[in-house]
Copies of this chain bind each other. A is one copy, B any other.
Amino acid sequence: MADQRFFRLRGPFSLAELASLADARLEQGDASKQIRDVAALDAAAEGHVTFLDNPKYTDQAKHTKADACVIRQDMIECLPSGVAALITDEPYRGYARIAAAFYPDAAEPNPLQPALAGIAVGAVIDPDAEIGDDCQIASGAVIEVGARIGARCRVGANATIGRGVVLGSDCVIGPGVTLTHCLIGSRVVIHAGARIGQDGFGFALGPKGHVKVPQIGRVVIEDDVEIGANSTIDRGSGPDTLIGRGCKIDNLVMIAHNVRLGPGCIVVAQTGISGSTEIGQGSVLAAQVGIAGHLKIGAGTQFAARSGVMKDVAAGQTMGGAPAIPMKQWLRQVVALNRLIKRRGVEE
């Protein structure tokens, strides 16, 4: 069971309820049986539901002590008899929904002040800011003139929301976040210390001194986006910087001015995207990737960790290396390099 100091356990839920939550079909089990917690395959005990998603863990599944398992139809035979099967094509997704039912707080990234109703005494809210119904604003948060916060938003301690910033409903803004010059949709999660909307890195360079170019665009963040801790997204220079609906961005990511991320992109930790580059819908950038400026990356592209992208990439490609090349070529490059050393070794 998760640590009760941090996570409140709900439930129990019947197998029928879990099947419904996971959009799964119950097999080999009593629909009314009560399940009281989630656990990993090897940690699960009586009364627990677990899941099998990765074939690598089939052996663990064979010995699980769980009462139920979210699983694909074609892997069902590895479950011990007596373990109820919750069958779905997407077990990880099903597990996610079940775990969120048991631990609703854990799916909310900022449960700093669960007891808090309304606005903390130490929050500083401009009289000309609009705060929606049922918002929670923690101590030390500063909300400036003209900001508009939708219903049920939660703003963490010492966060600052600048003049004119707009948030939709049900957003979670972590502690210490800074938002300026941005328009944010609904159900957006921004983790602690992220910086959104500061002016982009625009200078007219020269030996007489570098002159700052005013950045008069905004950051527009669509619905259901999540942005990781200490990440930075600069506002546009004139056009906006755009983060499309449902994008998930990890910690310490840098997104420069005028970048446009299509819907549903995944950007893993410490990746950087240079100015004015466009990334197509559903692309995946693994950790520590770097993408140069003014590029067009097609929809559904995937970049291996540490890719260094210097050219446009057509839709649907999988790339790796620096400079990034198609994944198959990159893997051959790695092999070729290793051979080169061996041959040299013989020659020397």
- Give which listed residue, B113, B204, B226, B269, contacts A272 with CB less than 8 A: B269
Asked if A83 is an interface residue, CB under 8 A from chain B, the answer is: no
Most buried by B among A156, A157, A270, A339: A157
| A122: interface (CB < 8 Å) | yes
Are B269 and A238 closer than 8 Å at their CB atoms?
A: no
What's the Cα separation between A115 and B335 when bound, in Å? 61
Asked if A215 CB lies within 8 Å of chain B CBs, one says yes
16 more A-B contacts (CB under 8 A) besides A140-B158, A156-B160, A332-B344? A5-B164, A6-B218, A96-B213, A107-B212, A112-B160, A112-B162, A156-B178, A175-B178, A176-B195, A178-B229, A207-B282, A210-B246, A252-B252, A254-B287, A288-B290, A292-B305
- 4 A-B pairs closest in CB distance: A5-B164, A93-B204, A106-B214, A2-B216
Residue of B106, B180, B251 touching A216 (CB-CB under 8 A): B106
Copies in the assembly, this chain:
3
Residue A325, interface by CB 8 Å: yes
A232 within 8 A of B: yes
Binds B, one of A59-67, A73-81, A142-150: A142-150
A40 at the interface (CB under 8 A from B): yes
Q: Is A322 an interface residue when CB atoms closer than 8 A count as contact?
A: yes
The residue of chain B having its C-beta at the shortest distance from the C-beta of A94 within the complex is B204
Q: How far is the CB of A27 from chain B (nearest CB, A)?
A: 21
* A168 interface residue (CB < 8 Å to B): no
User: Once the chains bind, are A308 and B306 in contact (CB under 8 Å)?
Assistant: yes
Contact status A99-B269, CB under 8 Å: no
| Cβ-defined contact, B269 with A201, below 8 A | yes
Whole-angstrom CA separation of A2 from B218 in the bound complex: 9
Looking at A156, A266, A269, A322, the one whose CB has the most chain B CB atoms below 10 A away is A269
* B-chain residues with CB within 8 Å of residue A120 when the two chains form the complex: 124
Kindly report which residue of chain B lies nearest to residue A306, judged by CB atoms: B308
B266 A203 Cβ-Cβ under 8 A: yes
Which of B90, B114, B229, B308 contacts A204 (CB under 8 A)?
B90
